[in-house]
Chains A and B, each alone.
Chain A
Amino acid sequence: MKKITVFATALFTFSNLLLAACGNANISTTTTNNSSTKGVSAAIPIGIAVSQTSNVALLGQEEVAGAKIAEKYFNTRGGVNGTPIKLVFQDAGGDENSAINAFQTLINKDKVVGIVGPTLSQQAFSADPIADRAQVPVIGPSNTAKGIPEIGDYVARVSAPVSVVAPNAVKAAIQKNPRLKKVAVFYAQNDAFSKSETEIFQKTVRDLGLDLITVQKFQTTDTDFQAQATNALNLKPDLIIISGLAADGGNLIRQLRELGYKGIIIGGNGLNTANVFKVCKALCDGVMIAQAYSPEHPGEINRSFRQAYLQQYKTEPPQFSAQTFTAVQVFVEALKSLDKKTKISTLPLKQLRIQLNKELLAGKYDTPLGEIAFTPEGEVIQKEFYVAQIKMQPNGNDGKFAFLK
């Protein structure tokens, strides 16, 4: 009997470990790695609440990298009219609670002027309302689901919504194979973003007159997709479209190819990261993904950003890094133009946040993503989109996104 009690307690403690593992919010990961900041009190704090732990850290790590490059870039160019900025990092974990905690700490303890984050749309729907109620401007670096800017007046995003980006990939696939007809769609049903993305993909498929032969569902935590893959492949599709995240999507691509699928595969935005290469290796080759960013964009600021990124991380900057850089840039430039009107050092924090929000929505920005602006709701207005195809080295160890014209 005693053993059973011990066991029951063990199971209970273990499930607590699970919770702890998912919600590392109590662990403060504030970093103030800033060499160019002279006095901490003088620097303007901007919050970065992205996923530094959990399985979403895969994406969050890229965002941290983009933010750090932005901090250095703008501070070496005089910060906000001579005052440096200071990025305050709080881990938004992989779930809603961690994101909420990170937001609250940034707003109340770190007293930031605005927040860049969170990583997932799923998290944004619960964390953004908190910032909105506190009247703190938020810029989403990677939230692409429907309805994000509509959360509130203080919520904007630099990540173009999936409804604008996704259809480009399907059109590019038709260009590659004009005879394609039968389309199979896969999506992760436990992820808000993937669900919203698959609706756009399915609508696009129907609008373009293709046959949607099957819709297969999975979970982002799944690793075995043989059942879904076999079900779909029995119907002989010419095109497969996947909305999921990097690890699950990569495994699905691998298993589809191993089970003999030869046609075109389109990946959604969740697969838009070099982390997919590590999962499906050589089998990733040829997967097409619509992009909101191209490292080859000719603008001056993108050249500097790309160069700094290559120098530091020895790899091309991914979209999430570019978008986070852009989000920081929007804050810096809006602070600059606000400062010219009213000295921001004279404004109380509450006023500063409110004014900053107005200012940033009104501005136009020349960013690594190209020229962007915002609608009054905070939706990004972006002009250029791209479709890239994954090109892997034959040994499968490294690859890149090759941009299609």
Chain B
Amino acid sequence: MNISLILQQFLNGLSIGSVYAIFALGYTLVYSILGIINLAHGAIFTLGAYFTYALMGGRFGFNGLLANAALAVQLPFALALIVGSILAGLVGVVVERIAFLPLRQRGSDPLLTVVSSLGVAVVIVNLIQYLVGAESYTYPENTYGNLPPAINFGSADNPIPIRTVQVVIFIVSAVFVAILTYFINNTKHGKAMQAIAEDATTASLLGINCDRAIVFTFFISSFLAGVAGSLVASSVSIAGPYFGIAFGLRGLAVIVLGGLGSIPGAVLGGLFIGVVEAFVPAQYSGYKDAVAFGILFIILLVRPQGLLGRRLIQKV
């Protein structure tokens, strides 16, 4: 492996790792507030990608209930990404109301909530296939306007071509991480979320509306899933309704690696797993998961709380 290939793979790893990071942040937020893992997160990721596709004016295939349907609007990618992710966020809120709230009010074991979210995931995935079929969908040609398809990071003699998509994904993800960090640390809503993560009972005694904060957390979490789904789909197409499952698993690995409930941990874990995967030689790509989970295993042996997890985690 020569130096330019190493650099190329490193940049590719950062790009996919940044998507893992924003996806895993969604898991982390919900975990911090409720202490549970929302297994519908991968399905929301998929849904966000389909929303963005539809908002860009994409037409659906002939299988499924919505055969040949297309929206009248044709939003540019940036706008479709935001609106599509907001829709994904709203679906997240609905999921919370239907699958999480009733169990929480009954004071059920957190495990039941996890199972309930799993049910939601199955429903969403099958609903997608029922509505728009199992075909792949790719965002329109002009997704990134007039940017060239690849950018050369090397010289003319020794080119290190990186697909423009990868660079855009990295930048957009970085921007969203920055916005989220600012939001959590510098706004009233963000501080309320931190307080609830610290101790929900005390927070509500101090006048914080827990229920509203939970709804809000689900919105942000699902919004981020929608962003991640749309970004990945803009790079490699929507492979079908099952598209988010692999990301769902990868996201779990990322948050455990980074430390459950830790935001910097999710970012670091995402980038780390992305880069490690990129260095698995291409012909062994089937072992990417094995390498990622193997490293997770080793790190957990040495540091059971994850990279940035602490005994008393400063959650959110």
Which residues of A are interface residues toward B (Cβ below 8 A)? 3, 6-7, 9-11, 13-15, 17-18, 20-21, 53-55, 57-58, 61, 189-190, 216-219, 221-228, 230-231, 246-247, 250-251, 255, 257-260, 275, 278-282, 313-315, 395-397
Contacts and interface: CB of A to CB of B under 8 A. Distances in A.
Nearest to B149: A258
A55 B282 contact: no
Given A190-B286, A246-B136, A230 B239 contact: no
B54 to A, nearest CB: 14
Given A216-B283, A258-B150, A282-B141, A57 B111 contact: no
Given A279-B237, A314-B68, A7 B260 contact: yes
A357 B260 CA distance: 60
Contacts of B173: none
Given A275-B135, A278-B138, 20 more contacts: A6-B37, A7-B37, A13-B118, A14-B39, A14-B249, A17-B122, A21-B242, A54-B242, A61-B133, A217-B282, A218-B283, A223-B236, A227-B12, A227-B278, A227-B281, A246-B136, A250-B237, A255-B163, A281-B141, A314-B62
Contacts of A226: 8, 12, 162-163
A137 B256 CA distance: 51
Contacts of B286: 189-190, 219, 221
Contacts of B252: 10-11, 14
Interface string B275-287: 0001001110110
B282 A228 contact: yes
Contact of B138 (A20, A228, A279): A279
A283 to B, nearest CB: 8
A230 B237 contact: no
B184 interface: no
Contacts of A228: 282-283
B161 A13 contact: no
Interface residues of B, number: 57
27 contacts: A6-B114, A9-B111, A10-B37, A10-B111, A13-B39, A13-B118, A15-B249, A17-B122, A21-B125, A53-B129, A55-B239, A58-B134, A58-B135, A61-B133, A189-B283, A218-B283, A221-B286, A224-B236, A226-B163, A227-B12, A227-B282, A247-B237, A247-B239, A255-B163, A258-B164, A275-B136, A396-B141
Given A55-B240, A396-B141, A13 B133 contact: no
B269 interface: no
Q: Please indicate which of the listed interface residues A20, A219, A226, A228 has the most CB atoms of chain B within 10 Å of its own CB.
A: A226
B111 to A, nearest CB: 5
Ranked nearest first, the 5 interchain pairs of A and B with the lowest CB-CB distance are: A57-B134, A223-B236, A258-B149, A227-B282, A217-B283
B245 interface: yes
A190 to B, nearest CB: 6
